[in-house]
Structure 1
Amino acid sequence: MLSVVVAGAIAFSPNSAISRSSVSSRAAVSMEVKPVVIGIAADSGCGKSTFMRRLTAIFGGKSKLNDIGRETNTLVSDMTTVICLDDYHKYDRQGRKGNPEFPNGITALAKDCQNWDKMAADVSDLKAGKTVSKPIYNHITGALDPNEMVKPTPIVIFEGLHPLVDPRVKGMLDMSVYLDITDDVKFAWKANRDIAERGATMEEVQSQINARKPDFAAFVEPQKQEADIIVQVLLSDLIDDPTGKFLKVKLIQKKGLTVEPAYFFDAGSTIEWTPNKEKLTTNGPGVKIASYEDEWFGRAVQVIEMDGEFADLEELVYIESHLCNAGTKYYGELSEQMLANKDAPGSPNGTGLFQTVCSFKIREAYEKLRK
């Protein structure tokens, strides 16, 4: 649920399981303005990095790795800090394989593999405007590297496998997003990469996916019920394409949040729209848009869909002219952002479009919460 607590206006009382003495020893001097905290949940390889580039670009300034002179996963800009939740792994790569507590090994997706107390303490401190000493998981070596110092910025984003699992962390998030990549799309993406680049077979690709499924289903996937906004990616309905080149993407937005959902044409209407081919050049099977109200795990939601692929992003203004309540500040801003990221994966399809809309809704929530 989107928190109605305005960051900085009301003090947060952390869960008693977080040691206040350990928090105070880690924390530096508070900022005058407390950050708004966003959680982005998704499996590995589901486009979080591309989404982070789109999101941070909305707030301006150039994002770069935290300047600590060594390997880090933390991205910073004047307005944003993006923290990778892999940094809160309890065990290094070797420790996950040879831990006597887990004779059969433990995956990074498992709940017992995460240092929840440290994660909750760091979220609490950053939300309070305090600098933290946070761990680093080195993706290259698989080691747990020495901590780094991270300063709060107006927006702090925690992205990774588990931002909505620990109730303490979930309770401190001002807004949450889940990237829901369906099994068919995951297989297509992984097969395209691993077979072409690594010489894997179809059987090997499926085996690797199946090995992750139990822990993913138990610890990661349930978060899509909890998130405020879900970006769901499916194979296209317009064409039989198991390669995943053409996609159907949904932006599922819960109602009753700080920000109202985006929709096409008229609020409350059910729309299926095939854009005018003279105004919108498309690839392959074309483009189909939909907008409707629905339920998501018992919650009322507004859904917008795009199936298919654009051929010319400069023509996106035609689509934008019929999109309402997108969180933009002026007509054409959505198209500008899409063109600025035209080389990013997913830009010609609904992935890029709805990640960008989602980014505008996060900015809208941030501005309302900071008033």
Structure 2
Amino acid sequence: MKLSISIVALAAATASAFMPSNSGLRASSLQMALKDGEVPIVIGLAADSGCGKSTFMRRVTSTFGGDQCGPLGGGFGNGGWETNTLVSDMATVICLDDYHLNDRTGRKVSGLTALNTAEQRFDLMFEHVKALKEGKTIMKPIYNHVNGTLDEPEKIEPTPVIIIEGLHPFVDERVRDLIDFSLYLDISPEVKLNWKIQRDMEERGHSLESIMASIEARKPDFDAFIEPQKKFADYIIEVLPTDLDPNDKKTLKVRAIQKKGVQDFNPTYLFDEGSTISWVPSADKLSSPAPGIKLAYTQEQYFGNDVSVLEMDGNFDNIQELVYVESNLGNANSKFYGEVTQAMLSLADSPGSNNGTGLMQTLAAFAIRELYNKKAATAKLAANKVAAAASA
């Protein structure tokens, strides 16, 4: 008999994901004002293009709940402008592509790619992140991905959680110092190739030669400017080919590399904190298609830092059965038993929801929520002490 749970309020959880841009919602309809004494936290997410940042952001923002909307401007088709910014009651997601120095035409003149740090406006990025963290409104530029132009700036108001995501969040030391928690999506070259073949060759009709040429053209700048940021991350989600079947090109092994000693963050563990575990769940408790499923938990060194690594290799047949794995996780930062599984089910149609990418992204989202709650409680306590001293 397989384990399953009744997921309460699944429809409500699903509705909390970002609505389409034509839903009619606007930032002005959201309760975005910071509370007295509230200091926003800043989350940084670094990854190459096409590595699942958008799906990850949906998992993070839906974890906080509250009213949410899609792109701030509404897009061309809804009387607005093209924009990359996502907003909700609790969170604002800023795409760092908006800090490109040149538009697409300008980069043809410079001969540099968007991955090159010389094509980024780091001074402005720092000024804006600093202002938002101080509770100030900014006018942020827009890089238009549709036609490659730099459009009119948009007004961004601070929310309790500010997420900056893109190619270069950890390059500038000044910006790094403003970030409260940093994440890196590390997709192996083999998986990147398989994903691009599936998308560009199978779905868009591109040739294998053109796909390989595109990857090779980007590789030098990726190696020089993007990948080195891994060493600054507190949480790395590493996506690798499966170890269960060398001929399987679609099944993934996913590792959550969690830095120890980060303020207000406790790594998730399997069974016994600080131990080394390899676990193949019983088929009576957790079904999975061939080549099966395996989980592991280890203690390692990563760029000279002590880390705990949680690993999952394989796919679930039934996402509801994830509750069995969840019952053996510690420091999952869930509010109630089954919340991790509920969150996975609420985005069941999103990429990775039946494998380790969705699981590790969900655990990272819960860690961000817990970090926010801890920092908010600390800030509130400090504000109360100041208020008590002033009235004494």
- Counterpart of 1:88 in structure 2 is 99
Identity of aligned residues (%): 55
- Counterpart of 1:79 in structure 2 is 90
**Could you tell me which of 176, 185, 191 is aligned with 2:182?**
176
Amino acid at match of 1:123: V
Deviations 1:217-272 (A, max 9, x none): 111101111100000000000012463x1000000000001211101000111100
**Could you tell me which of 154, 165, 179 is aligned with 1:159?**
165
Q: Is residue 289 of structure 1 aligned with residue 295 of structure 2?
A: yes
Amino acid at match of 1:117: D
Q: Is residue 59 of structure 1 aligned with residue 64 of structure 2?
A: yes
Cα 1:216–1:54 shift into 2, 3 Å: same
- Counterpart of 2:347 in structure 1 is 341
Structure 1 CA distance for aligned equivalents of residues 121 and 296 of structure 2: 42
| Aligned Cα root-mean-square deviation (Å) | 1.4
Q: Helix, strand or coil: the match of 1:300?
A: strand
Deviations 1:142-191 (A, max 9, x none): 00001000000000000000000011111100000000001000000001
Structure 1 CA distance for aligned equivalents of residues 90 and 35 of structure 2: 16
Runs of 5+ consecutive residues of structure 1 not aligned to the other structure: 1-27, 100-104
Q: Which deviates further from its counterpart, 359-368 or 228-237? A: 359-368
Q: How far apart are residue 137 of structure 1 and its match?
A: 0.2
Q: How far apart are residue 208 of structure 1 and its match?
A: 0.5
Amino acid at match of 2:325: I
TM-score (norm 1): 0.89
Q: Which has the higher helix share?
A: 2
**Could you tell me which of 322, 326, 329 is aligned with 1:316?**
322
- Counterpart of 2:311 in structure 1 is 305
Deviations 1:347-370 (A, max 9, x none): 111000000000011111111111
Deviations 1:253-300 (A, max 9, x none): 000012111010001111000001011110221110000110001100
**Could you tell me which of 261, 269, 278 is aligned with 1:263?**
269
Equivalent residues, number: 338
- Counterpart of 2:114 in structure 1 is 108
Structure 2 CA distance for aligned equivalents of residues 209 and 32 of structure 1: 47
Q: Helix, strand or coil: the match of 1:217?
A: helix
- 2:34 and 2:159 in contact (8 A); partners too: no
Structure 2 CA distance for aligned equivalents of residues 241 and 91 of structure 1: 43
Moved over 6 A (4+): 28-31
- 1:317 and 1:335 in contact (8 A); partners too: yes
- Counterpart of 1:142 in structure 2 is 148
- Counterpart of 1:49 in structure 2 is 54
- 1:32 and 1:129 in contact (8 A); partners too: no
Amino acid at match of 1:292: T
- Counterpart of 1:25 in structure 2 is none
Amino acid at match of 2:220: P
- 1:235 and 1:241 in contact (8 A); partners too: no
- 2:34 and 2:158 in contact (8 A); partners too: no
Structure 1 CA distance for aligned equivalents of residues 210 and 248 of structure 2: 17
- Counterpart of 1:192 in structure 2 is 198
Deviations 1:191-210 (A, max 9, x none): 11111122222221111001
Cα 1:29–1:233 shift into 2, 3 Å: closer
Structure 2 CA distance for aligned equivalents of residues 43 and 242 of structure 1: 24
- Counterpart of 2:12 in structure 1 is none
Amino acid at match of 1:256: G
TM-score (norm 2): 0.84
Q: Helix, strand or coil: the match of 2:344?
A: helix
Q: How far apart are residue 30 of structure 1 and its match?
A: 10
- 2:41 and 2:180 in contact (8 A); partners too: yes
Amino acid at match of 2:181: M
Q: Helix, strand or coil: the match of 2:152?
A: strand
Q: Is residue 246 of structure 1 aligned with residue 257 of structure 2?
A: no
Amino acid at match of 2:278: E
Amino acid at match of 1:153: T
- 2:287 and 2:318 in contact (8 A); partners too: yes
- 1:30 and 1:130 in contact (8 A); partners too: no
Q: How far apart are residue 330 of structure 1 and its match?
A: 1.4
Q: Helix, strand or coil: the match of 2:289?
A: strand
